[in-house]
């Protein structure tokens, strides 16, 4: 039976030394970068404690249980059993994306991204020598979806790869199996690669069907790569471990041909922690985390409806990031500036996600209900002050 995972207290969190807790002074509530405020899963703690006690801090081994652990996790959680022989580890998802993109495009070729999207995607494409081609997500009125016609037009005009975010950051959209199949068919037709960043996949809410891109059909397996990690769900980003995954002969060959140094950048602690995170013994903890995140996304909806009725927010189907449109409050292109300065709440800047992010903020609700309540109260006090000023 899953038990909801409880966040640490603010006092405990302020003892942390990671980016989320060191970027701003103590008066600021940090709800920006994608770290969570929960304790580690017990199996992860045990694995790390064992390593520290034994001084097991050398290089990662050339043969590790990581690929098999992920394959088993994917089979249990997504009903898909990828071949461990088609996987290689590296330091993080960003590095995996760059290493793959570098090998599927020539310098100067265009890579499609779907804004609003995780801001480093723009940089990763450039780091790989590519040029960003923007094909925004389509707003359906109730959610977001890939603009497959737009993607096809870009491919027809010469774009050579697609950097997909599945589930999508910042909207929390879980792409439908059909849209992934359609995307894969386009990729095969135009002879281009799809790199699917699936870092948020372990955080898809029950009842929402998640399809790993490579599992969506033969076309996807032929054209695609996935880059996965335990780091978002289990808050392991600082430990540096991700997996690049391929599911058909040609992409597998490409991963096998990567220089050994790419794999050697994997963090030993990251690898040990990821193996523990993907193990069956961590499933109940992950289910408990999903219960907590489900309650938090609903709490946020209720609080916004009550205290900031102008805010437009659709609950994400995955993850702990809320994409909120504050345009109707009249706080400008980048409302997070005023919110930080006057309400002392740090949110991610909407415009950083692409021009579609004007007037938006991204709020990290991977924390306690108390902190979410306090953050919304602080932000709503700006609205109250505006009303008073006008009145």
Stretch that binds ligand PLP, among 79-87, 150-158, 229-237, 262-270 (CB under 6 A): 229-237
Q: Which of 37, 92, 182, 219 binds ligand PLP (CB under 6 A)?
A: 92
Residue 73 CA to residue 229 CA, distance in Å, equals: 11
Binding mask 232-271 for ligand PLP (x = CB under 6 A): -----x----x-----------------------------
Q: Which of residues 42-71 bind ligand PLP (CB under 6 A)?
A: none
Q: Which of 7, 29, 31, 34 binds ligand PLP (CB under 6 A)?
A: 34
Q: How far is the CB of 249 from ligand PLP (least distance, A)?
A: 27
Concatenating the DSSP letter of every residue in 203-234 gives GBPTTS----GGGS-HHHHHHEEEEE-STTTT
Q: How far is the CB of 287 from ligand PLP (least distance, A)?
A: 21
Stretch that binds ligand PLP, among 87-95, 212-220, 297-305, 308-316 (CB under 6 A): 87-95
Which residue carries 């034994």 as its tokens? 54
Q: How far is the CB of 284 from ligand PLP (least distance, A)?
A: 24
**SS3 state at 132:** strand
Q: Which is nearer to ligand PLP, 212 or 308 (CB)?
A: 212
Binding mask 282-321 for ligand PLP (x = CB under 6 A): ----------------------------------------
Q: How crowded is the C-beta side of 332, counted as CA atoms within 13 Å? A: 7
Q: Which is nearer to ligand PLP, 180 or 237 (CB)?
A: 237
Residue 62 CA to residue 263 CA, distance in Å, equals: 8
Residue 225 CA to residue 121 CA, distance in Å, equals: 16
Q: Which of residues 184-203 bind ligand PLP (CB under 6 A)?
A: 197, 199
Q: Is residue 229 close enough to count as binding ligand PLP by CB under 6 A?
A: yes
Q: Which is nearer to ligand PLP, 320 or 331 (CB)?
A: 320
Phi, psi of 220 (to 5 degrees): -65, -45
Long-range contacts of 127-135 (CB under 8 A, 24+ apart): 127/98, 128/97, 128/98, 128/101, 128/102, 129/101, 129/102, 129/105, 130/101, 130/105, 130/160, 130/161, 133/159, 134/354
Cis-peptide, bond into residue 170, ω within 30° of zero: yes
> How many residues at the interface with ligand PLP, by CB under 6 A?
13
Q: Which is nearer to ligand PLP, 98 or 185 (CB)?
A: 98
**SS3 state at 285:** helix
Q: Which of 90, 154, 166, 169 binds ligand PLP (CB under 6 A)?
A: 169
Q: How far is the CB of 15 from ligand PLP (least distance, A)?
A: 22
Q: Which is nearer to ligand PLP, 297 or 383 (CB)?
A: 297
DSSP letter, residue 383: H
Q: Which is nearer to ligand PLP, 222 or 229 (CB)?
A: 229
Stretch that binds ligand PLP, among 9-17, 48-56, 90-98, 258-266 (CB under 6 A): 90-98
Q: In residues, how long is the chain?
A: 391
Binding mask 333-362 for ligand PLP (x = CB under 6 A): ------------------------------
Q: How far is the CB of 94 from ligand PLP (least distance, A)?
A: 3
Q: Specify whether the CB–CB gap between 227 and 209 falls below 8 A.
A: no
Q: Return the structure tokens found at 127.
A: 């780091």
Q: Return the structure tokens found at 298.
A: 């609903």
Nearest in space to 94 (alpha carbons), one of 125, 69, 116, 65: 125
Residue 76 CA to residue 322 CA, distance in Å, equals: 27
CA distances from 135 to 115, 155, 189, 218, 230 (A): 7, 11, 18, 24, 28
Q: Which of residues 145-164 bind ligand PLP (CB under 6 A)?
A: none
Q: Is residue 165 close enough to count as binding ligand PLP by CB under 6 A?
A: yes
Stretch that binds ligand PLP, among 86-94, 174-182, 216-224, 282-290 (CB under 6 A): 86-94
Which residue carries 């009842």 as its tokens? 207
Q: Which of 118, 210, 225, 349 binds ligand PLP (CB under 6 A)?
A: 118
Judged by the rule CB under 6 A, the positions of this chain that interact with ligand PLP are: 34, 92-94, 118, 165, 169, 197, 199, 229, 231, 237, 242
């Amino acid at each position: 039976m899953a038990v909801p995972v409880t966040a640490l207290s603010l006092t405990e969190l302020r003892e942390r030394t990671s980016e989320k807790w060191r970027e701003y002074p103590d008066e600021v509530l940090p709800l920006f970068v994608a770290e969570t405020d929960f304790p580690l899963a017990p199996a992860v703690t045990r694995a790390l404690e064992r390593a520290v006690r034994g001084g097991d801090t050398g290089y990662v081994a050339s043969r590790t249980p990581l690929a098999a652990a992920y394959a088993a996790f994917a089979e249990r959680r997504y009903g898909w059993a990828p071949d461990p022989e088609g996987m290689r580890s590296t330091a993080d998802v960003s590095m995996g994306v760059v290493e793959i993109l570098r090998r599927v495009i020539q310098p100067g070729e265009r890579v499609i991204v779907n804004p609003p999207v995780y801001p480093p995607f723009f940089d990763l494409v450039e780091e790989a020598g590519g040029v960003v081609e923007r094909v925004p997500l389509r707003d359906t009125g109730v959610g977001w979806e890939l603009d497959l016609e737009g993607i096809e037009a870009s491919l027809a005009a010469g774009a050579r790869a697609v950097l997909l975010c599945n589930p999508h950051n910042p909207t929390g959209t879980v792409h439908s199996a059909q849209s992934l199949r359609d995307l894969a068919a386009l990729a095969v037709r135009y002879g281009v690669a799809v790199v699917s960043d699936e870092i948020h996949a372990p955080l898809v809410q029950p009842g929402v069907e998640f399809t790993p891109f490579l599992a969506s059909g033969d076309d996807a397996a032929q054209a695609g790569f996935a880059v996965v990690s335990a780091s978002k769900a289990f808050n392991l980003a600082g430990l540096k471990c991700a997996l690049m995954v391929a599911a058909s002969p040609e992409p597998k060959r490409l991963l096998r041909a990567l220089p050994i140094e790419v794999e050697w950048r994997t963090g030993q602690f990251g690898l040990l922690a990821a193996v523990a995170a993907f193990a069956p013994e961590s499933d109940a903890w992950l289910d408990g985390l999903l219960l907590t995140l489900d309650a938090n996304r609903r709490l946020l909806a209720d609080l916004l409806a009550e205290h900031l009725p102008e805010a437009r927010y659709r609950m994400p189907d995955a993850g702990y990031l809320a994409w909120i449109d504050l345009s109707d409050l009249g706080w400008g292109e980048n409302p997070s500036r005023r919110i930080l300065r006057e309400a002392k709440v740090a949110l991610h800047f909407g415009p950083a996600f692409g021009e579609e992010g004007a007037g938006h903020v991204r709020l990290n609700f991977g924390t306690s209900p108390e902190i979410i309540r306090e953050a919304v109260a602080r932000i709503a006090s700006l609205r109250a002050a505006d009303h008073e000023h006008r009145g």
